[in-house]
Amino acid sequence: MLRLPPPPVVWLLAVLVTSLATSVGAQEPTPTFEVAAVRRNQSTRSDWQQDVRPGGRFVATNMPLIRLIQYAYGVPDHRLEKVPSWARTERFDIEAKAEGDVPSAQVQLMLRSLLEDRFRLVIRRETREMPIRTLVLARSDGRLGPNLLRVPGPDDCKDAASTRRDTPPGAMTIGGCGAISGIAGLAGVHTESVVLDGTGLTGTFKFMMDYAPGLSVTGDPDLPSFVTALNEQLGLKLQPGRGPVDVLVLESIERLVEN
Reported as a single tens digit per residue, the pLDDT across 113-157 is 999 999 999 999 999 888 899 999 999 999 999 999 998 877 777
Length of the chain: 259
Per-residue pLDDT at 8: 40
Can you tell me the mean pLDDT for 198-220?
78
| Percent residues over pLDDT 90 in the chain | 51
Cα–Cα distance, 125 to 245 (Å, whole number): 10
Q: What is the pTM of this model?
A: 0.64
What beta strand segments (E) does 113-171 contain?
122-137, 148-151
Torsion of CA 28, 29, 31, 33, to 10 degrees: 180
Q: What φ, ψ does residue 257 adopt, rounded to 5°?
A: -85, 105
Per-residue pLDDT at 82: 95
pLDDT value at 207 more than 80: yes
More confident of the two residues 18 and 91: 91
Per-residue pLDDT at 166: 67
Window from 32-46, 168-182, 196-210 with minimum mean pLDDT: 168-182
Pure H helices in 27-64: none
Per-residue pLDDT at 172: 83
Asked if residues 213 and 115 have their Cβ atoms less than 8 Å apart, the reply is no
pLDDT digits (tens, 9 = 90+) for 98-111: 998 888 889 999 99
Using pLDDT thresholds of 50, 70 and 90, give the confidence band for residue 185.
confident
